[in-house]
Structure 1
Amino acid sequence: MKRNQKAALFLALVFSGKIWAQDTERKMLLKDAEDKFPVSDAIIKYNHGNNHTHSDMAGSFDFIVKSYPDTLIISHQGYEDMKLEVKNEDDKNKVIFLQHKPYHISEVSISHSSFLAAITKVDLNKFPVNSAQDLLRKVPGLFIAQHAGGGKAEQLFLRGFDADHGTDVSVNFDGMPVNIVSHAHGQGYSDLHFVIPETVNNIDFGKGAYYMDRGDFDTAGYVDFQTYNGLKNSVVKIEGGSFNSKRILGMFNILDDDKGRKNAYLAAEYNYTDGPFDVKQNFNRINIFGKYNQWITDNDYFNIQFSTFNSSWNASGQIPERAVDQGIIDRWGSIDPTEGGKTSRTNLQINFKHIISDSEQIDIMGFYSKYNFNLYSNFTFYLKDPEHGDEIQQTDGRNIYGTEIKYTKNFSFPKSSLQWVSGTGFRSDDINTLQLNHVYHRDLIVGKMADATGVETNLHAFSGLIWKAGRWIINPALRIDHFIFNFHNLMNTEQLPSGQSKEKTRLSPKLNFSFSQNDHVLWFLKTGMGFHSNDIRVVVPNKNENTLPYSIGGDFGVRLHPFKSLIITPTLWYMFLQQEFVYVGDDAVVEPSGKSRRFGADLGVRFQPLDYFYVNADINYSHARFIGEQKGEDYIPLAPVMTSTGSVNWDFLPGFSLGLQYRYLGERPAVEDNSIKTKAYFVNDLILSYNHKNWGANIQINNLFNVKWNEAQFATETRLKDEAEPITDLTYTPGNPLGLKVGLYYKF
């Protein structure tokens, strides 16, 4: 099949039915008081509470009153209950605005489709966030590590994966993919530092590969950070603390018309820190974010948003354990003091929603990103070049384009309902710079190791059903992804100008079930296939490599809501992966390894016995092994075994709040035979905050007990300046010591 025929097939796959706009008679209409979005699936009781109905996709509902006057009782998770008196037939044509209420565990419905987002919303409301690290730590089961000066993307751990910087975790921002394919530093590299944390309203996430609208990198799971559509107040915040750290934030309400049909805001922040290291990090970052929303009509919504950031830093690097033990350097020293980098990303995103009828809608998203990355690292020191050292430079420059169109249709039957969701879209990375150089102290290029350009395109489509019948929900779905790789190796002039190309298609079926035993117990079984793409520099020159290694797995669990103040979610899971990608010190692109299997258990607990006292904890165990390797030599390096995060929050006086949070990462194998292990750590942070009507303050103590801990840890073969032979031992980036941060904000 020709390439243009394939593209046409993808675009036509899910839109064979006719989609047209039609007039609908609205009786009453429910809308969110803040963003003016329709509120669907609300419960409306009428006829003095003897009958009830639900609001549809457009937020509308109809009812027949036997006798006037009557009082409607309107309820929906996350909103204040509303009582509305209806005196006559004329009162039925109204727009009703529902007000948000503070999220509590008692308000979370275990059978609601947004259950996971709802419990995360509770977590967000209890603890303030002011960094990308804080945001990622709010995702239950997701563990992170930062290294290389704070400017690189965080290292992600989820479901027994050391996912490096995103190889097996799909990271998104308002639906826009953050992962970067065929990145200079690592496949799926996900730098979230362009996000201003205070603009994030909620976090959508899911573990496993069971979601039809999630594609590349959704093997261990996905996370999608969703921003506010509008601001209630403008805010100015200043923060300062240990290690010459400072932060300035401004969020400004630019437009908010009286009818609430359009609004706009602008946010900006500046970050700086020297860090605790002997070589000052000199970390600088500037972020700008703007968002405009408008309801053009009651049926048509338009949004455009813009973000940009620029960051530069110095890094201490990953230091060998023996260098500290022998007194060559201390924990805060560097073997190569010239490591560091700079990066930037600019994003433009447009969203359009059209409500076709009370049961149909179409959503369209398009985005553009301009990305640049320049990183200097030295993982092996003098292993290969005793004279100049082994410092490398990785550069990446590209333009990214993408869009997705999603169509939703609801069907109602006497004893069941059916929702049909289909979508199609594409993403294209136009890579103009992809280099790996051997350098000396950032200035001198000793040798060029790789230099390439290329275009990587992903066409995708999906379709699925959500059938609700009685206490059952059944969700079958199918996703198809087609990749086109075009690669130009600039170090091999014989390939020019045509270069090389390769194509590959992946089908990913999904099938999920849930059963509500009662209001307190819901059982679920999730199954499905996912995948992660391989690097363009591996796929095209090496025709036999797995282009789109697939995963297949399942979750079996239960949501328990035994009483209003407690939610418990135990889950057992299993995953098979066709091919691992193993860390190799960034000397090459990736090192494809063999097949693997993982299984484990997750336990989430949310407990709120009083409105002012809240406890949450997530405990995760995983067992990860290569398949086909000799027992005892089949460990997957750096795969987490035991992780846990949690917090306690106490609102002890009017306006005052005290929070203690922890994170624990257990010992892990660092090499295949488990002869070298990483070191476990347990770190606590304390936050005291005061919130008044127009102003507030907070004090944060990081690493409360000043424990010595290693954040990023690897087993690496290295050689120091005066060593005759290389040695493989643990290299690490030390975690921050005890530190204090103070903040003050003002609303207007």
Structure 2
Amino acid sequence: MECMPYRFLLLCCCFHAALFAQSTPLRGRVNVQGGEPAVGAYVLHLRTEAHTHTNELGNFQVDGVVPGDSLRVSYLGYRTATVPAPAAGSELRISLKESFIDLRTITVRPTVAALNVVADIDARLRPVNSSQEVLRRVPGLIIGQHAGGGKAEQIFLRGFDIDHGTDVAVSVEGMPVNMVSHAHGQGYADLHFVIPETIQKIDYGKGPYYAGRGNFATAGYVDFSLKDRLDRSLITAEAGSFNTLRLVGLYDLLDRPQSNAYLATEYTLTDGPFTSSQHFSRLNLMGRYTTELENGSRLSLLASHFSSKWDASGQIPVRAVEQGLIGRFGAIDDTEGGFTSRSNLIGAFVNVVDRSTFVKTTAYYTHYDFELFSNFTFFLEDPVNGDQIRQYEDRELFGFQSELTHDFHAAGGESQLKAGIGLRYDDIDDNQLSRTRNRQDLLQRLQFGDIDETNLFAYAGADFEFGRWLIHPGLRLDQFVFNYVDKLQPTYDRQEQRKAAVSPKFNILYTANDRTQLYLKMGVGFHANDSRVVLDRSAAAILPRALGADLGTIYRPTDRLFLQAALWYLYLEQEFVYVGDAGVVEPSGETRRLGVDLGLRYQFTPWLFADFDLNYALARSIDEPEGASYIPLAPNLTGTGGLNVVHERLTAGLRYRYVHDRPATEDNAIVAEGYLIVDASASYRFGPLTLGLVVENALDTEWKETQFATESRLRNEAAPVEEIHFTPGTSFALRAAASYHF
């Protein structure tokens, strides 16, 4: 009897040893239909309630799994799967089947990019009805169009009038969209070369908190991933108001287990609502090939071409409409307009080193042309010929980025390291600003030169899990070389300037459970100044720093409700920018912005969903006296939302966007009027055929889409007048669409 306790202890030890021997880490991979990896799928070990998420390759690892255990895998937009653990040493392969969206499948992920789930929800509920809808997918981001789709959109985010991209970094498949030292303005980001139907995923982040994002990523970044493969081929025809016609074709060229290829085309025509026809046309072509190698490595090649041309009525003064000189859709100078084109080559190779390590290398080349004729002041400078200007450039853009991702275990938690290096080189010929007449006669060259700009960078960041805590430090290094040859000088003179930036990041997340997360994000970012400003020696800060912080939460109080809220702060060292329209430098000193973001997604029934985003920002110049410290056109209150129906064959939506009145001048003496616009859409599927209807500005609101406080003079005016000049928002418009899948 005395030996019984020892025998019992020995038996327990043997049992635990046997159990430990069988509980080797279980490795697996989760794919969706078609073989694409499910990135961020939630994997739950039912016995221990331990959980993990799949990485960018769809791979995961769970410890403590023994034969007889089960795993539950959930992923937004796909059926939840419960699978038994395989025999010891075997790898688990799980393929998820698509289903109606269910917010109950959402879990709060312990990752810095946890808010991207909002974009995933919206992508599945809201069809993209136009190229402008692409950027509106980012919560809190508002856009305005100057030329009916000809120019890049004007972007508003977090208290910034970002113009065309000065303080938000935009990229597609890792290729930058923002153009440095652009003829029309720093950071110009024209996304119209992207065919909306080819977009697979939108990755976004607000603030300067992400080591992998560099120049322009102060208010935030937006990155678009395009489809590797097509589920089916597609032909779409759309027709609507203002002689609008749009044709889209997506053709599956190769569909094999390891290789896919497709071709996408888009052609758009419209006259627009303007009195003078816009004669707008746009052509998009894109082809993509993707193949997966035996070890899981992947090669992707993408080629695209985009060209667009248009006439424009420009920004018109309020007084001309109020005096009856022109209508809301009239023009003072209807010889405005332009042409632009962009051809891209992108190659990406994901090299799988092992299950926990891979290296993704992306290389790209772009040839870009831009020509724009504008007249903002009419007869202010030249009462005889008028004030028309021409902006032009011919650009080649080269670059690459190579990023290592390594998953590992530290301090008992899942951790990840990301480190990368890269290069961007812009070769810009004949960057110019000229005074012209009727688009034909050259009156005077104001700016004319060649620009070379190089950006070398390296970065590293890591996620360290300590129980419910995730610590994410990061560091980014950037080196810039600016070169400019002024062709207006009598002798050749190449000017050069160099500058480096160090940008630390630090984020802390506390995930209480799969419903609640608190986070604090802090970081330093920057936006580079135009090369002409830098080399003119007039910029006190070549790479003005941005310092930001976010304190926020993600919360799911019920299975069908998803909430997020953040209190944020952003300080900019100097908003010192080159104004391409005038060829001059407009200095403005230090600024600060303080704001609140609030968003919710709610599922009333299996087929009825609601979304709501409200964003408030207080933007002020630090160096200016009270009453004269407003930042012109900085949005202070914006909101978007709507109802969406996804029911078997029916998809429908009713959406609104709201912008409050905002100051147009530093003293708020001139105010840019706000607006509330309601749009609607519906489509119904009859087998392979889908019929749809889109209603823009359903309430036929008279609104000003873009507004500026500008001093101008009409032909017969004795003195100039400063007031709001605007581009009218579209009136009530209908567009019908028919799509055929095959």
TM interval, shorter chain, is over 0.9
- Provide the rounded CA distance (Å) in 1 between the counterparts of 2:423 and 2:479: 9
Q: For each residue in 1:503-556, what CA deviation from the matched residue of structure 2 results, as whole angstroms up to 9, or x when unmatched?
A: 000111111111123333211111001110100111112265321111101011
Residue 434 to residue 88, structure 1, CA distance change in 2 (3 Å): closer
The answer to whether the Cα contact below 8 Å between 1:485 and 1:540 also exists between their aligned partners in 2 is yes
The aligned amino acid for 1:186 is: G
The aligned counterpart of 1:716 is 710
Q: For each residue in 1:661-715, what CA deviation from the matched residue of structure 2 results, as whole angstroms up to 9, or x when unmatched?
A: 0011111111111100001100000112112331111111111110100001000
The aligned counterpart of 2:15 is none
Residue 115 of structure 2 aligns to a residue in which SS?
helix
**Residue pairs, 1:490-501, within 5 angstroms:** 490-494=487-491, 496=492, 498-501=493-496
422, 446, 459: which one aligns with 2:443: 446
Give the drift of 1:577: 0.4
The aligned counterpart of 2:599 is 604
The answer to whether the Cα contact below 8 Å between 2:639 and 2:657 also exists between their aligned partners in 1 is yes
The aligned counterpart of 2:109 is 111
The answer to whether the Cα contact below 8 Å between 1:582 and 1:637 also exists between their aligned partners in 2 is no
The aligned counterpart of 2:529 is 534
The aligned amino acid for 1:613 is: L
The answer to whether the Cα contact below 8 Å between 1:181 and 1:188 also exists between their aligned partners in 2 is yes
The aligned counterpart of 1:126 is 125
Residue 380 of structure 1 aligns to a residue in which SS?
coil
The aligned counterpart of 2:678 is 684
The aligned counterpart of 1:21 is none
Which deviates more, 543-552 or 424-433? 543-552
**Residue pairs, 1:315-394, within 5 angstroms:** 315-394=312-391
The aligned amino acid for 2:533 is: V
Give the drift of 1:101: 4.0
**Residue pairs, 1:621-632, within 5 angstroms:** 621-632=616-627
The aligned counterpart of 2:464 is 467
738, 742, 747: which one aligns with 2:736: 742
Residue 385 to residue 50, structure 1, CA distance change in 2 (3 Å): closer
The aligned counterpart of 1:178 is 177
The aligned counterpart of 2:165 is 166
The aligned counterpart of 1:269 is 266
Residue 45 to residue 247, structure 1, CA distance change in 2 (3 Å): closer
The aligned amino acid for 1:728 is: E
Alignment of 1:421 onto 2:418: yes
Residue 672 of structure 2 aligns to a residue in which SS?
coil
- Provide the rounded CA distance (Å) in 1 between the counterparts of 2:196 and 2:451: 33
The aligned counterpart of 1:313 is 310
- Provide the rounded CA distance (Å) in 2 between the counterparts of 1:26 and 1:236: 47
Would you say how many aligned residue pairs link Structure 1 and Structure 2? 715
Give the drift of 1:196: 0.2
Give the drift of 1:85: 5.2
The aligned amino acid for 1:456 is: E
Give the drift of 1:65: 7.1
TM-score by length of 2: 0.93
Give the drift of 1:33: 3.6
The aligned counterpart of 2:243 is 244
Q: For each residue in 1:309-344, what CA deviation from the matched residue of structure 2 results, as whole angstroms up to 9, or x when unmatched?
A: 100001110000001111111111100010000100
The aligned counterpart of 2:655 is 661
Q: For each residue in 1:294-316, what CA deviation from the matched residue of structure 2 results, as whole angstroms up to 9, or x when unmatched?
A: 11222311111111110000111
691, 694, 698: which one aligns with 2:688: 694
What do you get for the CA RMSD once the two structures are aligned? 2.2
The answer to whether the Cα contact below 8 Å between 1:41 and 1:76 also exists between their aligned partners in 2 is no
Which deviates more, 52-61 or 642-651? 52-61
The aligned counterpart of 2:288 is 291
The aligned counterpart of 2:632 is 637
The answer to whether the Cα contact below 8 Å between 1:26 and 1:60 also exists between their aligned partners in 2 is no
- Provide the rounded CA distance (Å) in 1 between the counterparts of 2:178 and 2:272: 27
The answer to whether the Cα contact below 8 Å between 2:410 and 2:464 also exists between their aligned partners in 1 is no
**Residue pairs, 1:472-551, within 5 angstroms:** 472-494=469-491, 496=492, 498-542=493-537, 544-551=539-546
Give the drift of 1:289: 1.3
Consecutive unaligned residues of structure 2, counting only runs of 5 or more, are 1-23
The aligned counterpart of 2:199 is 200
Identity of aligned residues (%): 41
The aligned counterpart of 1:228 is 227
568, 574, 592: which one aligns with 2:563: 568
The answer to whether the Cα contact below 8 Å between 1:530 and 1:550 also exists between their aligned partners in 2 is yes
The answer to whether the Cα contact below 8 Å between 1:44 and 1:72 also exists between their aligned partners in 2 is no
Residue 509 of structure 2 aligns to a residue in which SS?
strand
Consecutive unaligned residues of structure 1, counting only runs of 5 or more, are 1-24
The aligned counterpart of 1:17 is none
The answer to whether the Cα contact below 8 Å between 2:401 and 2:421 also exists between their aligned partners in 1 is yes
The answer to whether the Cα contact below 8 Å between 1:408 and 1:421 also exists between their aligned partners in 2 is yes
The answer to whether the Cα contact below 8 Å between 1:56 and 1:359 also exists between their aligned partners in 2 is no
Alignment of 1:646 onto 2:645: no
The aligned counterpart of 2:134 is 135
Residue 385 to residue 88, structure 1, CA distance change in 2 (3 Å): closer
Residue 446 to residue 149, structure 1, CA distance change in 2 (3 Å): farther
Residue 112 to residue 387, structure 1, CA distance change in 2 (3 Å): same
Give the drift of 1:225: 1.3
Give the drift of 1:109: 1.8
The aligned counterpart of 2:71 is 73
The answer to whether the Cα contact below 8 Å between 1:109 and 1:115 also exists between their aligned partners in 2 is no
- Provide the rounded CA distance (Å) in 1 between the counterparts of 2:88 and 2:472: 40
Residue 438 to residue 684, structure 1, CA distance change in 2 (3 Å): same
Alignment of 1:731 onto 2:729: no
Give the drift of 1:63: 7.3
